[in-house]
Chains A and B, each alone.
Chain A
Amino acid sequence: MNDTFQLDGEDIPFAPGQTIMQAATAHGVYIPHLCWHPDFSAHGSCKLCTVKINGRFGSSCITQAQPGLEVENRSMELDEKRRTLLQMLFVEGNHFCPSCEKSGNCRLQATAYELNMMSPHFDMFYPNRPVDASHPDVLLDFNRCIMCSLCVAASRDADGKNVFYMGGRGLLGRRVHISSESGRLGDTDFAVTDRAAGICPVGVILPKRRGFAVPIGQRKYDLAPIGEHVAEDAS
């Protein structure tokens, strides 16, 4: 690991084949992201990890590290764009943090705090997305879906089940499909012990009969901002 590139002026070592995101994470540097997860292949859809690579915008999760690259990460310009992207995600769904079981453990909320998002800014879309409570152990509330596809990847690559698939088109059409004729989770072989059950960065996939086991204020991102959790992704 002799090669390095520059990230906000700091030398970041990388192994051949690593992306900018992987190298930065391994080195303990946080690049904001939502759809990327170290255990799965990069999806490249949320665009929160957009950085400036030798002066050009690019997604750090899908761009290979190269020796000598100059990468801008936490500049005002980029964080401003990230704030706008977060606001887009907030208004696209129905995100009511105070009543959400995921509050404090939610990566969308934590990233919004990290980037000082003070308001949703745009008009809310208030989509009408039904809740799926058909499964005995798991509740699905797609009102909070941010289309990251992590559940798709986990069910496919870790569980070997293909319970989820991202389909549809555009703002109102795009959604996660459930692999059953009824479209209900209860009619699939999904299990609460599946990797996919715990992968959702927001509050879509929630275990039933467990609420507020840890009080709000003492949860993961209440204790330390998301940028300080980067070591978890590196391990």
Chain B
Amino acid sequence: MSDTDTIDAVLDRHHGDGTRLMQILRETQEQLGWLAPATLTRIAHAIGWPRAMVEGTADFYSFFHTRPLGRYRVLWSDNITDRMLGNTGLIDAMCKKLWLEPGRVSEDGLVSVDTTSCTGMGDQGPALLVNYRAVTRMTAARVGEMVGLIRNETPVAEWPAEWFAVDDTIRRKDILLDHGLVAGQALAAALELGPEKMLAEIKAARLRGRGGAGFGTGLKWDACRNAEGHGAHPAHYVVCNADEGEPGTFKDRVLLTSHADLVFEGMSIAGLVVGAKKGLLYLRGEYRYLLDPLESALAARRQAGLLGADILGTAFEFDIEIHLGAGAYICGEESALIESLEGKPGRPRIRPPFPVTHGYLDQPTTVNNVETLAASCLIAAHGSAWYARHGTEKSTGSKLLSVSGDCERPGIYEYPYGVTVRQVLEDCGAGFGKCDCQAVQISGPSGLCLTAAEFDRRIAFEDIPTAGAFMVFDESRDMFEVARNFAHFFAHESCGFCTPCRVGTTLVRNLMDKIANRHGSPYDIDELFKLHRLMQGASHCGLGNSACNPIFDTLNKFRPAYERRLMSLDYEPAFDLDAALSQARQMTGRDDAAAHFSAHLPNEAEA
């Protein structure tokens, strides 16, 4: 098959529909290796979009490449938890064995090795992606074997299957993971109730969004249901946000692996309530390996009369499509996710209008988290009164926590809302006594950093709201390095739309690197605070607004971790002035004290 035939076959499969551009680009790249200029031109022509728009999308996502990046592309997950498990040494070893610089493609075009944001394997790292397939539990021995397979050009499909094994590691079950429902049970109950009563149940259960913000699910569904579809193709849509990108989170991965029916059923219930016939599940690109099993699960549901027309013998019609993302954390923001679903760069929209009135294809759309949708099944099956008995007054039900970092038993822990941080730490074996737990980062880099004094606080919307990441750091960890890792994450993931976030996240990253390189001064810390104040108010979306949270938190709670790195109490430039003089010394043949910068400094700065 020629390249053009390959491209045309992909385009045909997607009916030349530009809103499916993400899938068109991915499938094309999976077959051709990269997105060449002529490829983009052909696609643009077929979907009837300006070429620059197609290139704009291809250029936005980390997992699309508009230049060849090797027949083997190795991307190491670079979350702080991967770092703590020693990924830096493994990356170095891999690059050395391959005679490669990180980020560079080998001269023969065989391989490139680079880092990527957290791949959602915090419970079984160090993790990586090879040609966008997830690999867990990397070791030095595996690095050696992997390099051998790459050198011999063994197809990834023939690599040892156990490398690609992803375990659920469920450590504690509560009402959701122990649901005991069979496929169709919750949906049948919802159909019996009908949309109005089902909505009333969701409201009475006081279900709130599990993605972190905690917006009332009933309110959202109600607003979407009441909004009118408009234009030539009026419709309502249900979108499941499975773009689980917050570093340290992996609960949606587990739900989609072992409870996919529950998630699809929740989407169907949402469809029933808001009056949608179509649901879209936006799956993060890192979970590409889940696509085929999920498609099979959808097929089985269609077979069983749980999707499609006349669902369970009623007039209800609903079906679900899966869209795969391509490596962009920002797409977890609901309006950016919708942009991505429409084939565009994931850039948060100007709001209002909100997705409930103007969402996917400008139609009323409810975007809900995987866990929220799954939880709605419990309410359909058992009723709001039963559901509201779990958790707290303001936070009903249960929460899945993705526990990783310095603990004996990382994995998924489900608790009723209201559980204390201390309880979670005890259950996961975060060693009080042996090596004390120093801090917990909750809800990822944009969340909260808690110290021991705060471990009696509770996981609940009224105290610590969270999407579920729970990263544990023991006393041996350097909290400055944790914050610096997060600063790099935000600089990498900023979409670049607004000035404060686009430039600010990189300035923050550079300041953190400056301090790490022992060129920092109190002045730089003031600068960090100044950038925090600017970005927090002026940014376009939550990413920029919260990008300095980890810095702000650690600066307030772990200031010595910063201060012991500071060079002087005055200003320090980012470069080494004395080193800059070395050429002049060489040229003049001098190396006496007066030819060194330190000789000209006041004494106290020499220390």
Which A residues fall within an 8 A CB radius of B? 42, 44-48, 50, 57, 62, 81, 84-85, 88-89, 91-92, 122-123, 125, 146-147, 162-171, 173-174, 177-183
Which residues from A are CB-within-8-Å of B41?
Answer: 181
Chain A proximity mask over B484-505: 1 for CB below 8 Å, otherwise 0? 0000000111111111101111
From A42, A88, A182, give the contact of B500 (CB < 8 A).
Answer: A88
B497's closest neighbor in chain A, by CB? A45
Q: Does the CB pair B491–A167 fall under 8 Å? A: no
Q: Which of B526-577 contact A (CB under 8 A)?
A: 530-531, 534, 537-540, 574
Apart from A169-B60, A171-B505, A182-B37: 9 A-B pairs, beta carbons within 8 A: A45-B540, A46-B498, A50-B538, A81-B537, A168-B56, A168-B496, A169-B494, A173-B60, A174-B502
From known contacts A45-B498, A123-B510, infer whether A169 and B59 are also in contact, taking CB-CB under 8 Å: yes
Complex Cα spacing A46 to B504, Å: 12
Complex Cα spacing A147 to B347, Å: 14
Which B residues fall within an 8 A CB radius of A? 37-38, 40-41, 50-53, 55-62, 328, 345, 350, 491-500, 502-507, 510, 530-531, 534, 537-540, 574
Which residues from B are CB-within-8-Å of A88?
Answer: 499-500, 503-504, 507
Q: Would you give the shortest CB distance from B526 to chain A, in whole angstroms?
A: 12
Complex Cα spacing A171 to B220, Å: 34
Q: Does the CB pair A165–B499 fall under 8 Å? A: no
B500's closest neighbor in chain A, by CB? A47
Q: Does the CB pair B496–A147 fall under 8 Å? A: yes
Complex Cα spacing A173 to B328, Å: 13
Complex Cα spacing A28 to B216, Å: 42
A-B contact pairs, 19 of them (CB 8 A): A62-B350, A88-B499, A88-B500, A89-B503, A92-B503, A123-B574, A162-B50, A164-B52, A167-B56, A168-B496, A169-B328, A171-B494, A173-B59, A177-B52, A177-B59, A179-B51, A181-B38, A181-B40, A181-B41
Q: Does the CB pair B345–A167 fall under 8 Å? A: yes
Q: Which 10 A-B pairs have the closest CB atoms?
A: A167-B56, A174-B496, A165-B52, A57-B537, A162-B50, A88-B503, A179-B52, A177-B52, A171-B506, A167-B59
Query: Could you tell me the dominant secondary structure of chain A's interface residues?
Result: loop
Q: Does the CB pair B507–A122 fall under 8 Å? A: yes
From B491, B492, B538, give the contact of A57 (CB < 8 A).
Answer: B538
A46's closest neighbor in chain B, by CB? B499
Q: Does the CB pair B496–A169 fall under 8 Å? A: yes
From A47, A165, A170, give the contact of B50 (CB < 8 A).
Answer: A165
Which residues from A are CB-within-8-Å of B57?
Answer: 167
From known contacts A169-B345, A173-B59, infer whether A89 and B499 are also in contact, taking CB-CB under 8 Å: yes
Q: Does the CB pair A85–B502 fall under 8 Å? A: no
A166's closest neighbor in chain B, by CB? B56
Q: Does the CB pair A178–B52 fall under 8 Å? A: yes
Which residues from A are CB-within-8-Å of B500?
Answer: 47, 85, 88
Which residues from B are CB-within-8-Å of A180?
Answer: 51
Complex Cα spacing A170 to B507, Å: 12
Q: Does the CB pair A167–B52 fall under 8 Å? A: yes
Complex Cα spacing A179 to B44, Å: 10
Give the most central of A123, A168, A171: most B CB within 10 Å: A171
Which residues from A are CB-within-8-Å of B50?
Answer: 162-163, 165, 179
